[in-house]
A and B are shown apart, each in its own frame.
Chain A
Amino acid sequence: METLSVSASAPEKRQKAVKRTGARSGEVSVRWRLAVASRVTAALIGGYLLTALSSVCLAQFLPLARAEAVVLAMTLSFLVYLPAVLWCFVCRTAWRAWFGLLLPSAVLGAIYASARWLL
């Protein structure tokens, strides 16, 4: 898994560099395109998942009246979406982008689930 991600990362960066300097078109590899598509999907869907779970946890744990907590949770949620999206394009590999979103999502999901159904 790790080797795959590393091998996906290296050409990804290099291709970017080639694209920048090379004047001829069509030098962008399929692998690079796939990696970008994967990052975009991670940003859109993974980012949304993390944002939604954050707002669910906020609404659950904010010490406010029910409707107020929900409104605040929704209002602030986009502040989570933004760094989540940025993360997907900053991290070294597309795999990391997914990992970096799905891990905190799982943690938030577990916290919410245990508060809701275990306690």
Chain B
Amino acid sequence: MFGLPNIAATPGAHRWTMLAILYGLVLVVGFLIYRFDNSRLGRAASAVFVDKELAASLGVDIKKLGMLLQTFSCTIAGGIGVLYGFIYKSLYLTFFDFSLVGIAMTVIFVGGYATQWGALVVAPILYGVPLLFPPAIQSWRIVIYGALLILVLVLKPEGFLTRRFVYTLGSFLSGHRKNNNRQEDI
């Protein structure tokens, strides 16, 4: 093997370390998303999502916000690139082709595009569960993803983790039932 070194001593240990780092990062990103949702920036982003003109009239600088969020997502992309290097050890350009975009779309829309939680919860399920299937079915994975995407779009266009669901769950977990009136605003 050439290129990036193993983090741990043995390849086996390397794999487990990578897994730990990956899921650690997922948790960190999850925490960031949680903080983001409750921050000034996150509220501005929600406002833009619901109504662009209204948000602009409230004083949200859409251009600046967009640039900020793009920088943020590009930072995540850079991190993913490094992780990819450490996991696969060699670069397959075809990995980053259009079917990856398709899978990403499936994850986003099945999870629900209105919140960032959808992708976080659904991605491991959608990617992991097919790995348990027999190879004959696994090879049709993309078709299954496509069909799932179409089904969700037609039957449940909001996805499974909608804003309302997240708020209800959030207020349920934190015990603030009083906050229920927030659902009306969404």
Q: Do A and B actually bind?
A: no
